Amino acid sequence: MLGLQAGCCPDVASGRHLIYGREFKNAFDEDGNHHSAGRLREVPWVAIPPVVKAIRVLEKFAPAEGLLFDAGTHTFVNTPTRSTASLRFTALHSRIEAFAAWASHLARALGRDGEVIPDDPHGPIGLARFRRTLAWHIARRPGGLVALAIQYGHMRTAVSGGYAARGRDGIHQLLDIETARATADTLTTLHGDLTRGVGISGPAARRAIHAAAQAPAFAGSIRTRRQARDILDNPALTVYDNQRSFLMCVYNRERALCRRLDSDDAPRLDRCRSSCANIARTDHHAAQLLKRAQILEKQVASEVVPGPLADRLTHRAAQLRALADRHEHGRFNPQEPTS
Ligand code: SF4
């Protein structure tokens, strides 16, 4: 990232933006000489819209054809007007800390204390931990704070796809580990819920119960990529919590309605379809459906929403209530005797 230059992400008429960066670690010529200036990566990164925007902002103050993180431009005191180096790691560390302080200040100023970033008992975040944090969010928060409008499936495909021609290293490994941990957390929570008598429904409910039964075997034990792959490659354990759609996706490739022919073997949680045979819901999801329906109905009742939008919200609220109703009629608990 520190080696990116202005112009690294050309505008495109259609399709995805690509970022052309350099690699340094393996930049050897045929005689084994290392090129300290690096060489162009064979596989560009696929850029998602917020990244393209960030690059456009950086290009506004980077030197022409210079580095996006040019040290002279980004360091505000006692620096030469023109430099050939980028910011150093230590500078980036302090920028991350400054960003966290700024975000917390803004949250307090807006009265959103729940969004203040708490002090970290393990010290400064630094680059490695920041990257791990990103992986955590990508793996667990479809539509969450980092993913925002970027959809989970797209983000994961976009990030990992850029590494497809290389070994599964760097953030790809982290994504594997965090995705496996997210799966383990989902299954552990489900296992606990079912034990406590929480009901489950949906065409994939039995498969979800079967997967949850295996949760105690690996809960809290995923530390290496190999352990992560053992879980991710096990088709009986591919359960994803889809908070946006108030359901669990018990992924089976053959039954997936979101699957595209060219997609990899992962659900497109952002394109979830309510008639899919991979859906399971618990009482918690049903409660969330009703809560969301109430919020929409309240918005409509407030009469500040214009007519056509109010109609859409009313329709959506009715759909959510119908899904909750369907859960109520189909729910069961594996501990309860069947009639
Ligand atoms: S459509 Fe089916 S496979 Fe795709 S995310 Fe939804 S439940 Fe999963």
Mean pLDDT value of segment 159-171 = 45
Atom of ligand 1 nearest to the CA of 256: 3
Residue of 258, 265, 323 to mutate, ligand 1, most atoms within 8 A of C-beta:
258
pLDDT at 116 over 60: yes
pLDDT at 141 over 80: no
Residue nearest to atom 4 of ligand 1 (CA): 258
Residue nearest to atom 3 of ligand 1 (CA): 256
- How far is the CA of 146 from the CAs of 115, 134, 141, 165, 314, in angstroms? 13, 8, 8, 26, 29
pLDDT at 79: 56
pLDDT at 9 over 50: yes
DSSP element (H, E) containing 248: strand 247-250
Identify whether the C-beta of residue 284 lies closer than 8 Å to the C-beta of residue 196. Answer: no
pLDDT at 121 over 70: yes
Tell me which residues have their CB closer than 6 angstroms to ligand 1. 249, 251, 256-258, 267-269, 272-273, 276, 278-279
Ligand 1 centroid, distance to 140 Cα (angstroms): 16
Q: Compute the distance between CA of residue 251 and CA of residue 235 in angstroms, rounded to an integer.
A: 8
pLDDT at 304: 74
Phi-psi category of residue 202: left, alpha or beta, with phi > 0 → left and psi -120 to 50 → alpha: left
Give the orientation angle of helix 283-301 with respect to helix 307-330, to 10 degrees: 160
Q: Compute the distance between CA of residue 56 and CA of residue 59 in angstroms, rounded to an integer.
A: 5
pLDDT at 81: 55
Q: Compute the distance between CA of residue 253 and CA of residue 35 in angstroms, rounded to an integer.
A: 44
Of 13 and 53, the structure prediction assigns the larger pLDDT to 53
Tens of pLDDT, residue by residue over 23-51, are 887 777 778 888 877 888 777 777 888 88
Query: Residue ranges of the domains in the chain?
Result: 1-86, 170-330
Neighbouring C-beta atoms of residue 36, cutoff 10 Å = 7
Q: Compute the distance between CA of residue 100 and CA of residue 122 in angstroms, rounded to an integer.
A: 15
pLDDT at 328 over 70: yes
Neighbouring C-beta atoms of residue 330, cutoff 10 Å = 14
**Mean pLDDT over each residue of the chain, to the nearest integer:** 81
pLDDT at 146 over 60: no
pLDDT at 153: 38
Residue 44: φ, ψ to 5°: -70, 160
Mean pLDDT value of segment 164-188 = 71
Ligand 1 centroid, distance to 255 Cα (angstroms): 8
CB < 8 Å & 24+ apart, contacts of 79-86: 86/2, 86/3
Mean pLDDT value of segment 136-143 = 64
Ligand 1 centroid, distance to 262 Cα (angstroms): 16
pLDDT at 66 over 70: yes
pLDDT at 290 over 70: yes
Q: Give the confidence band of 60 by pLDDT, cuts at 50, 70, 90.
A: very high
**pTM of the full structure:** 0.64
SS3 39: strand
Q: What residue has token string 């969450």?
A: 144
pLDDT at 155 over 50: no
DSSP labels, 66-108? SBTTBHHHH--SS--SS-S-BPPHHHHHHHHHHHHHHHHHHHH
Tens of pLDDT, residue by residue over 247-281, are 999 988 888 888 765 555 667 777 788 899 999 99
Ligand 1 centroid, distance to 228 Cα (angstroms): 22
Tens of pLDDT, residue by residue over 178-212, are 888 888 888 999 999 999 999 999 999 999 999 99
Ligand 1 centroid, distance to 259 Cα (angstroms): 8
pLDDT at 74 over 70: yes
pLDDT at 39: 83
